[in-house]
Amino acid sequence: MAGSDEIRSLAEAVLDACKAAGLMAATAESCTGGMIAAALTDIPGSSAVVERGFVTYANEAKTELVGVPAPMIAQHGAVSEPVARAMAEGGLAPDGDGVEGGAVERIPHGDGFMPPGRHPRQLYGHSDGFSPPGAE
């Protein structure tokens, strides 16, 4: 897991980038348990950028709150790239709609996809800097 100074630095960079681009930030987390949203909102002035956050640890929460299809979770597993992407898309979609599926390999614990803009299809890369304590 990244050190607290590194996490704060990353969070500040995200907030600065969002401010510069005129974007609001939203998080949809599972294994990180809200740590990304906590890192962002720990910084004074973050309310100008952070709009919302979802902590969807249980599979049912992923389906109910951010619209991840239950069959996708069953097929790929809760800790998989398709589910992480669907969570990001659902967190950005106003009604949780618009989540698509696709066969992709499982991703390591703590990884997640970061949407850089307002459009749910604008997803890229992953970051493992926010792994929960005790994660391998």
Q: Supply the pLDDT for residue 69.
A: 96
Backbone phi, then psi, for 13, in 5-degree steps?
A: -65, -40
- Is the four-CA dihedral 41, 47, 53, 55 of positive or negative sign? positive
Q: Supply the pLDDT for residue 90.
A: 86
Backbone phi, then psi, for 29, in 5-degree steps?
A: -115, 160
Q: Residue 36 and residue 126: Cα distance in Å, rounded?
A: 13
| Both tokens assigned to 62 | 């992923």
Q: Residue 99 and residue 87: Cα distance in Å, rounded?
A: 8
Q: Supply the pLDDT for residue 98.
A: 42
Q: How many residues does the chain have?
A: 136
Residue ranges and CATH numbers for the domains of the chain are 4-92 (3.90.950.20)
Q: Supply the pLDDT for residue 123.
A: 46
CA atoms within 13 A on the CB side of 69: 11
pLDDT digits (tens, 9 = 90+) for 12-50: 998 998 899 888 888 889 888 999 999 999 999 999 989
Rounded mean pLDDT, 90-99: 60
Rounded to 5, what percent of the chain is helix, strand, coil? 40, 10, 50
Higher pLDDT, 104 or 42: 42
pLDDT digits (tens, 9 = 90+) for 59-93: 999 999 999 999 999 999 998 888 988 898 888 76
